[in-house]
Structure 1
Amino acid sequence: MKIEKVLNNNVVMCRNEIGQEIVAMGKGLAFQRKSGDTIDPSTIEKTFVLQKHGISEKLANLLEDISELYLSISSKILDYAKTQLPNKLDDYLYVALTDHISFAISRHKQGIQLKNALLWEIRKYYKQEFQIALKALDIIEDETGIKLDEDEAASIALHLVNGQLSGDNMGAAIQIAQMVNDILDIVKHHYKMELDETSVNYERFLTHLRFFGMRYMRKEKPVNSMDDFFHEQIKLKYKDAYTCTKKIATYLNTKFDWVISREEEVYLTVHIHRVTNRYYSTK
């Protein structure tokens, strides 16, 4: 296997047998070696594939300043996350998460603790990512002996959410959390009731809203494949829920300049009916 780029003494870029760009890690793997040199596969301790162009350069720049230990930790976290999440994770996470963990450990050693203002929302709205982030704290502790707090778990969870959106804009994940929170507030105010957050229907509604927001962030074009008759039937059958949906549609149009499709109107209406109808079966 030939080296394409030396990132540091222990990390190199190369290509596998099918031409994919990979990061290879191993103690002293690149010591006194350069691009074009061959490395012994038996000396490689860890590899991962990079599919997004330009990530290797960002990793190279990052590893000039920080230990590859944090890249190894990030890789272990992302290996686990990939087994738990339904969506593909963006390669940029190897850079973003490595940098975040390095900075978090540095702050911890200096006795600096930063509170995450979105801890409550992240724990509530991104439960799967938050649970993975708690596991990430265990991985970090195993590798460094340092136990970070839940505020850091919330930050890692945001990286995982954002990594499913593709790109390196953390603001997208925060904006989705705010959108979900605002929509839930509209529903609560419309019905003048608190929602049962322990119900299956509430969980389904949250899941729908979350991916609803992700579709907006990805700028997916609205699909109006819904049958007109079915759309009208839903409007008639769930009048109050549909009225609530139109309030949400107005909010989305006003704040995000987003005109939702009839299909989204139907799904929102059905979910709202289920989550607000106290007599609706949650089984």
Structure 2
Amino acid sequence: MDRKYRISKVFNNNVILVTDKNSNQELVLVGKGIGFGKKDGKKVILSESDIEKSFIAYDEKTKTEYFQLISQMNSNVLGVSEEIIALAEENLGRLNSHIHIALTDHIGFALDRIKMGMEISNPFIYEIKALYSEEFRVGLMAAEIIKDRLDVEISESEIGFITLHFHSARQNKKVNETLKDTKLIKDIIELIENELSVTIDNGDLIYTRLINHLRLSIQRLDEKKYIENPLLDSIKEQFKYSFAVAGKIGEYIKKEKNVDVPDDELGYLAFHIERINETKKLMKRNVTESNKK
């Protein structure tokens, strides 16, 4: 079925901003070659086969902000950002519409920094990769689009920041909230390492299990969802030290997020801490026995 559109802006060969002549609705259209040879202000007729994806890039609250961005941002960067967002929604599901502003602005700023030789390292890259693996996978795909369309290679640190935007839009959260939770998890891991005098290898299965548990635990606290721990009494009795360490973490979370962490939640955390402690003891025994030989 063919539809009539008026082109508001050609972002690149694959992305255009249009007004649907029937509904008078402004849309971003993504499709291979859809913008090639097109001009701003011209009327076009497009068929469904021409359009891979169409969406509204803003709501009424953010309309002014989006059009300010369009007036200030390089069209190629706008087009690439919209291609990336379309790809992200294909892989991750519906994203909060504010990503069209937040991610586009971030990518534009990141590209400017890279051109000036001012790349920023990402101190949470290991946590981001482990916590948001699906989003990071799409971030790698986004890096390929940027390289292919703009001939700019972005670092793993930058991919990590793009990943945060994907996760935030997926959870309807602000990026700084996601970043705070990521930092909180990193701090908790360091606290556990200090308490147990151990270094947790971010490539180990123990690290992955711990970090994913902490992510879900913090999510439950944010959503005020409380779980029951049928083994709580046994954990308190058998894993006294680990539960005490979990209690310190609970106090830290309370200080950072102003929420009380229930004992049931601390019990599950203590179980993970105990596993790390036992692994450390086993490694020490193996080293001692090896030295004796």
TM-score range, shorter chain: 0.7 to 0.9
1:62 match: 69
* CA positional deviation for 1:183: 0.9
Aligned residues: 265
Matched, 1:234 2:243: no
Aligned-partner residue type, residue 66 of structure 1: M
1:91 match: 97
2:287 match: none
Aligned-partner residue type, residue 246 of structure 1: G
* CA positional deviation for 1:265: 1.8
Matched, 1:210 2:215: yes
User: Which one of the candidate residues 79, 102, 114 is aligned to 1:72?
Assistant: 79
RMSD after superposition = 3.5
2-structure distance, mates of 1:80, 1:32: 27
* CA positional deviation for 1:259: 0.4
* CA positional deviation for 1:248: 0.7
2:194 match: 189
Matched, 1:122 2:125: yes
**CA 1:279–1:82 in structure 2 vs 1: closer, same or farther (change >3 Å)?**
farther
Aligned-partner residue type, residue 133 of structure 1: G
1:146 match: 152
Matches within 5 A, 1:129-278: 129-167=135-173, 169-216=174-221, 219-223=222-226, 225-226=227-228, 230-278=231-279
* CA positional deviation for 1:80: 4.1
The answer as to whether partners of 1:205 and 1:275 remain within 8 angstroms in 2 is no
* CA positional deviation for 1:64: 2.2
2-structure distance, mates of 1:273, 1:242: 8
The answer as to whether partners of 2:8 and 2:17 remain within 8 angstroms in 1 is yes
- Structure whose alpha-carbon radius of gyration is higher: 2
Q: Deviations along 1:117-161, whole A, 9 cap, x unmatched?
A: xx2422344342444433322210101122233342232223223
The answer as to whether partners of 1:249 and 1:259 remain within 8 angstroms in 2 is yes
Q: Structure 1, unaligned stretches of length 5 or more?
A: none
The answer as to whether partners of 1:29 and 1:43 remain within 8 angstroms in 2 is no
**CA 1:75–1:58 in structure 2 vs 1: closer, same or farther (change >3 Å)?**
same
Q: SS of the counterpart of 2:124?
A: helix
2-structure distance, mates of 1:140, 1:235: 52
The answer as to whether partners of 1:130 and 1:157 remain within 8 angstroms in 2 is yes
Provide the identity percentage: 23
2-structure distance, mates of 1:45, 1:88: 18
* CA positional deviation for 1:30: 5.9
Q: SS of the counterpart of 1:11?
A: strand
Q: SS of the counterpart of 1:64?
A: helix
**CA 1:251–1:104 in structure 2 vs 1: closer, same or farther (change >3 Å)?**
closer
**CA 1:15–1:123 in structure 2 vs 1: closer, same or farther (change >3 Å)?**
farther
Q: SS of the counterpart of 1:277?
A: helix
TM-score, normalising length: structure 1:
0.76
Q: SS of the counterpart of 1:24?
A: strand
Q: SS of the counterpart of 1:40?
A: strand
Aligned-partner residue type, residue 123 of structure 1: Y
* CA positional deviation for 1:103: 2.8
The answer as to whether partners of 1:11 and 1:68 remain within 8 angstroms in 2 is no
* CA positional deviation for 1:79: 4.2
TM-score, normalising length: structure 2:
0.73
Q: SS of the counterpart of 2:279?
A: coil
1:101 match: 107
1-structure distance, mates of 2:167, 2:76: 23
Q: SS of the counterpart of 2:179?
A: helix
1-structure distance, mates of 2:255, 2:117: 40
Deviation larger for 22-31 or 153-162: 22-31
Q: SS of the counterpart of 2:72?
A: coil
Aligned-partner residue type, residue 65 of structure 1: Q
Q: Deviations along 1:233-269, whole A, 9 cap, x unmatched?
A: 2322322221111111111122321102344223212
* CA positional deviation for 1:278: 0.7
**CA 1:73–1:101 in structure 2 vs 1: closer, same or farther (change >3 Å)?**
same
Aligned-partner residue type, residue 11 of structure 1: L
